[in-house]
């Protein structure tokens, strides 16, 4: 295992907040008749939600989008870092997808074959994935940050016949080519190279496909898709165990679109900001397939260090992110507000604008315009998923006037199983079961907590070449319903909203049977400004019957230096953090108290969705 440096959150910088142009709030008038109508509509919305769609395959979505939205902008991408964002229409995208699919099927005989797609988020990735879903074969999206040996292993395990890779992965692919004799073609994105041996340029294949279509080959557009057919193979990140291959069908992906529709209203003029890796189902399903179904545009971020300038340049309305990214944006913006001496004013305006919003007057975008500008100026939605997030961050976004949504699911549910509706966003909840899903709690304790079981149309076909592992997690009841054991611990409130409290595999069990969920303690430690990141776990210590509740901490050096001075010794840094941990311990039940602190000098090993790989961190300690 290794650290993923590309996913280290950069030091975001924002300009000073002035807030000079706040208008006289006393001049605001309330239209009570309009307000009454608005409240009635809102109440009805909570009862029935928005209108839903009924797609069965992604090809249905693709065919609809290319006909209905052909002149809309599909993608904005900066192919030259020093240039402008290139705008690509739905028509251009559709033509490239059909051309690529035609050539891959009919010239290179890849119909029904497995094709690995590996690389950063780029237009060619989107085209490749869509061509696979619409009729070529089985897509195998691979994490570009995997070490060379693991990339070789995944290509081999998947029995891939072709590999489509970005130019940035060229050196890696060259290292593994000779060890993969069964791969017939290595296709380099954004390349015009003619076929030489097993190597060929992506653009060359697209060009060949267009020539075939011009000559009358329309077979790709006529390919019929079996909605239940195995179409995507995704290897899990393995945060708690070794990676498994998840088999997904077209219907699983189409149901993600159907599932979101009643909970969130998305318009053609909405723009999604793509910053998470596309090999992850959260980004490829909700950040790609969903906006395509609505005719939206997608702005591709150039990389984490470019987030702030890219947000400002592309002005998105929706940001899909993971907690670590959202929390860092929150911290940096608030530090900027504090340095500007505007904390009191901002907090006061949040109270005032909340009160006004409660009576039907929403002036948040006007009052907090400068903060909005730092995030592009048009941001309407921020969606958090993949891990728990501190609820205060979600409440802060809501106070700014940004709709904060929390999603829940796993790769095995492709990924969505629950979502907080925009008309009832209960900050702190992981969401309510989407319309194609049902949640239940297995063997709940006195608090109603137990393992979260999921029944959903988005549930995978099973684990690739691992029937035993599939049977371990999918239980079929007497009525034939398939229930997935998520491994997450949580409870449902009286309205069916889910609250996650931990993971079964992370749980620390005391000698007297008490369960300690590290995530609960980590959220509390996340409020300590002197701590940058942390991981709580049960440490085995020789001579001790109980696991020792231990926390690994990466200190926030910038914050510590600002508060306590520079050039502190390691012992002084340790003592500062330990004092803060003792304060947190006072808020915890005694058996949950942290007993040991370990200062971590390197970065945590993480997945590409920035979740700490606990088992890898613990195993690393055992090996040392």
CB 527 within 8 A of CB 480: no
Closest by CA position to 377, among listed 314, 330, 328, 335: 314
Q: Position of tokens 């000698």?
A: 511
Question: What was the pLDDT predicted at 319?
Answer: 98
Q: Strands, E, within 332-380: which ranges?
A: none
**Preceding amide of 415 cis, omega within 30:** yes
Closest by CA position to 108, among listed 191, 229, 208, 232: 208
> CB-side exposure of 410: number of CA atoms within 13 Å?
24
Question: What was the pLDDT predicted at 233?
Answer: 98
Question: What was the pLDDT predicted at 33?
Answer: 57
CB 382 within 8 A of CB 321: yes
Question: What was the pLDDT predicted at 22?
Answer: 61
Torsion of CA 272, 274, 276, 279, to 10 degrees: 100
Which residues, in sequence order, are CB contacts of 562 under 8 Å at separation 6+?
none
- What is each CA distance from 187 to 162, 234, 584, in whole angstroms? 7, 20, 53
Strand, coil or helix: 250: helix
Q: Position of tokens 């509706």?
A: 421
Q: Position of tokens 């050539």?
A: 103
Closest by CA position to 496, among listed 598, 419, 570, 381: 419
Question: What was the pLDDT predicted at 4?
Answer: 32
Question: What was the pLDDT predicted at 111?
Answer: 97
Mean pLDDT of the chain: 90
Q: Which domains does the chain have, with CATH numbers?
A: 508-623 (3.30.300.30)
Closest by CA position to 168, among listed 129, 120, 115: 120
Q: Which two tokens stand for residue 32?
A: 């009570």
β-bridge partners, 77: 86
Instruction: Tell me the C-alpha distance between 25 and 3, whole Å.
Output: 50
CB 61 within 8 A of CB 55: yes
Instruction: Tell me the C-alpha distance between 467 and 364, whole Å.
Output: 53
Spans of the chain below 50 pLDDT:
1-7, 26, 32, 239-241
DSSP letters of 226-237?
A: -TTSEEEEEE--
Question: What was the pLDDT predicted at 3?
Answer: 27
User: 270: part of which helix (H) or strand (E)?
Assistant: none
CB 261 within 8 A of CB 53: yes
Dihedral sign computed on CA atoms, order 284, 290, 294, 299: negative
pTM of the model: 0.84
Instruction: Tell me the C-alpha distance between 163 and 200, whole Å.
Output: 11
- Three-state secondary structure of 446-504: CCCCEEEEEEECCCCCEECCCHHHHHHHEEECCCCCEEEEEEEEEEECCCCEEEEEEEC
Helix, strand and coil percent figures for the chain, each rounded to 5: 40, 20, 40
- Three-state secondary structure of 30-58: CCHHHHHHHHHHHHHHHHHCCCCCCCCCH
Closest by CA position to 436, among listed 590, 259, 233, 212: 259
β-bridge partners, 515: 509
β-bridge partners, 489: 451, 502
Residue 187 backbone phi and psi in degrees, to 5: -110, 115
Torsion of CA 565, 568, 570, 576, to 10 degrees: -30
Closest by CA position to 265, among listed 380, 372, 394: 380
């Amino acid at each position: 295992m290794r650290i993923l440096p590309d996913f280290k959150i950069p030091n975001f910088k924002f300009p000073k907040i002035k807030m000079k142009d706040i208008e006289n709030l006393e001049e605001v008038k309330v239209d009570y008749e309009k307000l009454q109508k608005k409240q009635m509509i809102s109440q009805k919305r909570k009862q029935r939600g928005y209108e839903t769609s009924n797609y069965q395959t992604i090809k249905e979505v693709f065919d609809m989008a290319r006909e209905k939205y052909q002149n809309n902008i599909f993608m904005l991408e900066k192919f030259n870092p020093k240039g402008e964002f290139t705008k690509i229409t739905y028509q251009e995208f559709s033509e490239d997808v059909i051309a690529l699919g035609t050539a891959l099927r009919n010239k290179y005989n890849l119909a029904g074959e497995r094709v690995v797609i590996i690389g950063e988020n780029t237009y060619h990735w989107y085209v490749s994935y869509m061509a696979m879903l619409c009729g070529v074969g089985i897509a195998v999206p691979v994490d570009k940050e995997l070490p060379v040996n693991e990339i070789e292993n995944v290509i081999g395990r998947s029995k891939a016949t072709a590999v489509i890779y970005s130019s940035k992965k060229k050196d890696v692919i060259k290292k593994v080519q000779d060890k993969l004799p069964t791969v017939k073609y290595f296709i380099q994105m954004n390349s015009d190279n003619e076929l030489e041996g097993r190597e060929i340029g992506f653009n060359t294949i697209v060009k060949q496909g267009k020539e075939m279509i011009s000559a009358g080959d329309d077979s790709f557009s006529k390919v019929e898709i079996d909605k239940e057919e195995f179409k995507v193979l995704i290897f899990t990140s393995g945060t708690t165990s070794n990676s498994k291959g998840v088999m997904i069908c077209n219907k699983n992906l189409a149901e993600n679109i159907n599932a979101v529709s009643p909970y969130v209203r998305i318009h053609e003029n909405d723009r999604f900001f793509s910053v998470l890796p596309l090999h992850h189902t959260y980004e490829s399903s909700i950040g790609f397939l969903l906006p395509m179904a609505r005719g939206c545009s997608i702005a591709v971020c150039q990389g984490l260090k470019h987030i702030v300038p890219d947000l400002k340049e592309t002005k998105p309305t929706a940001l899909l992110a993971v907690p670590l990214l959202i929390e860092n944006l929150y911290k940096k913006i608030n530090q900027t507000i504090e340095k500007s001496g505007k904390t009191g004013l901002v907090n006061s305006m949040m109270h005032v604008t909340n009160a006004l919003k409660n009576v039907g007057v929403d002036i948040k975008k006007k009052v907090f315009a400068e903060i909005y500008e730092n995030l592009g100026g048009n941001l309407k939605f921020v969606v958090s998923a993949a891990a728990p997030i501190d609820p205060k961050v979600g409440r802060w976004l809501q106070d700014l006037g940004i709709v904060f949504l929390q999603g829940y699911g796993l790769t095995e549910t492709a990924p969505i199983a629950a979502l907080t509706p925009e008309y009832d966003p209960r900050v702190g909840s992981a969401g309510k079961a989407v319309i194609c899903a049902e949640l239940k709690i297995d063997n709940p304790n006195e608090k109603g907590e137990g393992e979260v079981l999921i029944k959903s149309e988005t549930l995978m076909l099973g684990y690739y070449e691992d029937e035993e592992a599939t049977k371990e997690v999918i239980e079929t009841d007497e009525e034939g319903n398939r229930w997935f054991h998520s491994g997450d611990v949580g409870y449902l409130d009286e309205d069916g909203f889910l609250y996650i409290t931990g993971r079964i595999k992370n749980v620390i069990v005391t000698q007297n049977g008490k369960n300690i969920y590290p995530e609960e303690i980590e959220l509390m430690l996340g409020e300590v400004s002197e701590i940058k990141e942390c991981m709580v776990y049960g440490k085995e210590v020789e001579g001790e019957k109980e696991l020792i509740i231990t926390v690994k901490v990466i200190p926030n050096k910038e914050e510590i230096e600002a508060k306590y001075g520079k050039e502190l010794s390691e012992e002084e840094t340790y003592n500062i953090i330990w004092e803060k941990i003792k304060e947190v311990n006072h808020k915890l039940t005694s058996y949950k108290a942290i007993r040991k602190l370990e200062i971590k000098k390197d970065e945590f090993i993480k997945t590409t969705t920035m979740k700490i790989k606990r088992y890898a961190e613990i195993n690393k300690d055992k090996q040392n």
